[in-house]
Amino acid sequence: MHLARFPRVRLAHLPTPLEPLPRLSEALGVELWIKRDDCTGLAGGGNKTRKLEFLLGDAFEQGADTLVTQGAVQSNHVRQTAAAAASHGLKCEIILEERTGSKATDYTRNGNVLLDRLFDASIRTVPGGTDMAAELEITAEAVRKRGGKPYVIPGGGSNPTGALGYVDCAREIVVQADELDMQIDRIVTATGSAGTHAGLVAGLAVMGADIPVLGIGVRAPKDKQEANVLKLAKETAALLGRPDAVTDAMVVADCDYVGAGYGLVDEAVIEALKLAARTDGIVLDPVYTGKAMKGLIALARAGRFENETVVFLHTGGAQGLFGYQGEIEGSL
């Protein structure tokens, strides 16, 4: 697994810490550690920074001058893409989908959206349910017509090139665990656009690390989510020259904690946010890590992780909390 053969632009503060969560471990009865990918640095950090290192490398190799991407209104990926573009003198065109239907001012103007504007990204908003792949191509064609060279990044940066960022993270986790003489029994992460989950699975498989990854779904039903992750994990392994490394059994998603839908907050998510904050001072987000922690808490209390050492991958997103002030503050 020789990642130096892929073009890369260094954006992240790496390696991110791998730390114990002693008070949350005590509360849940599980030996719990956290991989701090909220500390990658770019625009406040988050998991998309790792993906953008390889995506920007590819964009520069192709001579692009404009990044084109999409996400939900409070997209962490969009925020980090806009920052990556600004820091490297690129234009950035983003399409925001009104996926949750919220018209609240704090949701539509604050949090990640405020940062998108601060980074001078050009923003176009479309209704929920819009064909986002088609919208990306419409925007890319508009860039071409004005003489620009677009580089299209799918939602979440989730393609084989972007997933290389989490192949590298898998390697990093194994190296850190070995340095600590720690045996990891399971990695738990939010799984949405699939790139983080798929990159971890592919990286661990290619290394032969034999660490299972449990994805806690934030949007799609289990069958669809696992199919999306498996497809991308196999494509990523093939990019690494190991097309047969990933098996179906390596991809597991638990999608019982989505709640009413993507980006919609319930009391169990708020309780997860409060528990992480009030035990070990960890700030999660309402859309991804909050739901992943909601699932982890429920599974831990049900005895799912008995006698295991579990690493929770913190994928960032705290900036999005400010878009949910009205929904959260009454429960604090």
Active-site residue set: 75
* Exposed/middle/buried for residue 78 (C-beta within 10 Å: 0-12, 13-18, 19+): buried
| φ, ψ of residue 204 in degrees (nearest 5) | -65, -40
Produce one character per residue of 207-243: b if its CB has 16 or more CB atoms within 10 Å, e if not: bebebbbbbbbbbbeeeebbebbbebbbbbbebbebe
| Cα separation, 117 vs 242, whole angstroms | 41
Please name which of 111, 79, 74 lies closest in space to residue 288, comparing C-alpha atoms: 74
Please compute, for residue 204, the number of CA atoms within 13 A of its CA located in the half-sphere on the CB side: 22
CA-based nearest residue to 283, from 27, 91, 46: 46
The interaxial angle of helices 48-61 and 195-207, nearest 10 deg, is 90
Q: Where are the alpha helices (DSSP H) in 180-288?
A: 195-207, 222-239, 267-280
Which residues, including other chains, have CB under 8 Å from residue 100's CB and lie 6 or more apart? Answer: 72, 73, 107, 128, 261, 262, 263, 264
Phi, psi angles (nearest 5°) of residue 122: -85, 125
Q: How many CB atoms lie within 10 A of CB 25?
A: 18
Residues 135 and 95 sit within 8 Å (Cβ to Cβ): yes
Give the C-alpha separation, 230 to 243, whole Å: 12
